[in-house]
């Protein structure tokens, strides 16, 4: 059900990633945004993003994107799960949980077991899942104002 | 007052970084932890951490560590400010603010203007400063349970 | 569908209120707890709690308890909605929303339009509703340690 | 140093309460607002608000207002501490802590030991104190939109 993102997933992946971007309010990303993201996910650069997708009946119904990056407190670095999305019609079937577990497995295989992600405080549906598979930290994010 | 961390700062830097680690409850980091961190901060690897320190009267009174890492939404990536600390005796003099501004300048010079950091929700003294130089996001962090 | 709690609701009300107390971890309230609460809800004291229930097919499927109390900033006081609960089997049908709206109407009738309640930060199912019918404030609660 | 608010405190109390109201963004409360509040604080109604003030060198430098109100879970009710303020010039001397402790003592004397208050999540200076004398709960406040 979960497999590494591959060239054949191009169309189904974009449709889903557009849904995810819309969830965060980005309804009009140019095509170039998706082209670049897919190209990076397909690259062999171990320092850039990797993608996994969930497939059901030949349809891409879930995606997850993650990257390994340095952390000064840990030699091996950490794994940042940036994007996670399940098609609305496929929710409640464990797709999100399976994708997170697949990232955990990939992180273990890479020798970088520490996986983290950020989510909006009011992403209630997401947090119902996250509270079961991970631990909420007391850390909040500040962004430079640009 | 702010300069790039350099070999001569080794002793003063460690004393300060120990204070920072203690703030987060890590009172007994082995010497190896500090040796490795300093070595990485001194390396020329543009993908690893960089350090800046604040000096007053020949003393290191503040430090900041940051790294550039990939972000799938932005070609140029983002700048993660992991550690920031001011010696207790030097607080209230704008050291923290100057260090953050120096990271902003370094990030601009690197073409990676988006700088972010995470802080404990109850780091009140820190947040008094952060609210002035940055914007609190609604994002919270989840960690894999290991 | 919504009506004021009345003596005939005694049995159905307790069953539901027990479910609510269990949600907050209180599984073993003595019978006396429910007896007293019901007696207070039935009293004519305008300064004590009032109750409303939602009925479907002759079953009590929702309850809400509220009280008016003084507020130094407002002559007319405020309305505190302490307890709100919908039977698990009846969720998703608008029972909670109808109960909150009924409290709003009762508060308006009493000339005390300001209604508020407290909820656990991670009561996701509740907050999905509350975000639609009310506004999250930035206020958090501190309790004396006893 | 702490005493019950009395008629002689009228002028000093208002000056301080104006500072508190301004802290929450209410810079232009009409005189009537302060007249009513003081009248209520002076009344003998045990169900309405009571006030305590801190005095230093003949000056009112702190105030606290609290009220007892019903709670369906507790026969004896609870004590709501609505307003707490220390004059900026008198901060750091334990005035706030002494006022909170005086409310605790008054609540104990009234047989209503459970004292609570609400504060803005980003009231950092206040929370530094509150974390020492009370426990942050996970409860957040929702308000009806009017």
Contact D116 C70 (CB under 8 A): no
Contact C120 D139 (CB under 8 A): yes
Q: What pLDDT sits at residue A101?
A: 98
Sign of the torsion angle spanned by Cα atoms D97, D101, D106, D110: positive
Mean pLDDT, chain B, rounded, equals 97
Q: What pLDDT sits at residue A55?
A: 97
Contact D131 B122 (CB under 8 A): yes
SS3 of residue B105 by DSSP? helix
- Rounded CA separation B134/B116 (Å): 9
Q: How confident is the model at residue C22 (pLDDT cuts 50, 70, 90)?
A: very high
Q: What pLDDT sits at residue D54?
A: 98
In the predicted model, what is the mean pLDDT of residues D109-113? Answer: 98
Q: What pLDDT sits at residue C52?
A: 98
- B120 touching D, CB under 8 A? no
Q: Are B126 and B119 in contact (CB under 8 A)?
A: yes
Shortest Cα–Cα distance, B89 to chain A (Å): 25
Q: What pLDDT sits at residue B104?
A: 98
In the predicted model, what is the mean pLDDT of residues D77-97? Answer: 96
Instruction: Show the 3-state SS of C51-107.
Output: EEEEEECCEEEEEEEEEEEEECCEEEEEEEEEEEEECHHHCCCCHHHHHHHHHHHHH
Measured between CA atoms, the residue of chain C closest to residue A129 is C124
SS3 of residue C112 by DSSP? coil
Q: Which residues of D touch B136 (CB under 8 A)?
A: 122
Q: What pLDDT sits at residue A40?
A: 98
- Planar angle of CA C6, C87, C21, nearest 5 degrees: 80
Domains assigned to chain B: 2-133 (3.40.630.30)
Contact D131 B125 (CB under 8 A): no
Q: What percent of chain C has pLDDT over 90?
A: 98
Mean pLDDT, chain D, rounded, equals 97
Mean pLDDT, chain C, rounded, equals 97
Residue given tokens 């500072």 in the structure block: D19
Contact C122 A127 (CB under 8 A): yes
| Mutation for B interface: D124, D137, D138, most B CBs within 10 A | D124
- Chain segment B47-74, per-residue pLDDT in tens: 999 999 999 999 999 999 999 999 999 9
Contact A120 B139 (CB under 8 A): yes
Q: What pLDDT sits at residue A113?
A: 98
- Planar angle of CA B83, D92, D126, nearest 5 degrees: 65
Measured between CA atoms, the residue of chain B closest to residue A45 is B70
Q: Which residues of D touch C20 (CB under 8 A)?
A: none
Measured between CA atoms, the residue of chain A closest to residue B130 is A142
Measured between CA atoms, the residue of chain A closest to residue B120 is A139
Shortest Cα–Cα distance, B59 to chain A (Å): 23
Q: What pLDDT sits at residue D112?
A: 98
In the Cβ-directed half-sphere of A128, how many Cα atoms lie within 13 Å? 12
Contact D138 C130 (CB under 8 A): no
Question: Which portions of chain A are predicted below pLDDT 70?
Answer: none
- C78 touching D, CB under 8 A? no
For the entire predicted model, the pTM comes to 0.94
Q: What pLDDT sits at residue D94?
A: 96
Q: How confident is the model at residue D34 (pLDDT cuts 50, 70, 90)?
A: very high
Instruction: Residue D76: count other Cβ atoms within 10 Å of its Cβ.
Output: 14
Measured between CA atoms, the residue of chain A closest to residue C130 is A122
**Greatest alpha-carbon span in chain B:** 44
- A128 touching B, CB under 8 A? no
- C91 touching A, CB under 8 A? no
- C128 touching A, CB under 8 A? yes
């Amino acid at each position: 059900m979960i497999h590494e993102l591959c060239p054949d997933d191009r169309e189904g992946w974009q449709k889903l990633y557009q849904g995810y971007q819309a969830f965060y309010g980005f309804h009009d990303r140019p095509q170039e945004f998706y082209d670049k993201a897919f190209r990076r996910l397909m690259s062999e650069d171990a320092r850039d993003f990797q993608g996994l997708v969930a497939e059901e009946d030949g349809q891409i119904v879930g995606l997850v994107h993650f990257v390994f990056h340095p952390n000064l407190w840990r030699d091996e670095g950490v794994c940042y799960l940036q994007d996670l999305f399940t098609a609305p019609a496929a929710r409640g079937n464990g797709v999100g949980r399976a994708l997170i577990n697949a990232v955990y497995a990939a992180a273990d295989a890479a020798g970088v077991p520490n996986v983290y992600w950020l989510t909006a405080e009011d992403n209630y549906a997401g947090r119902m899942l996250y509270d079961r598979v991970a631990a909420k930290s007391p850390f909040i994010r500040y962004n430079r104002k640009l």
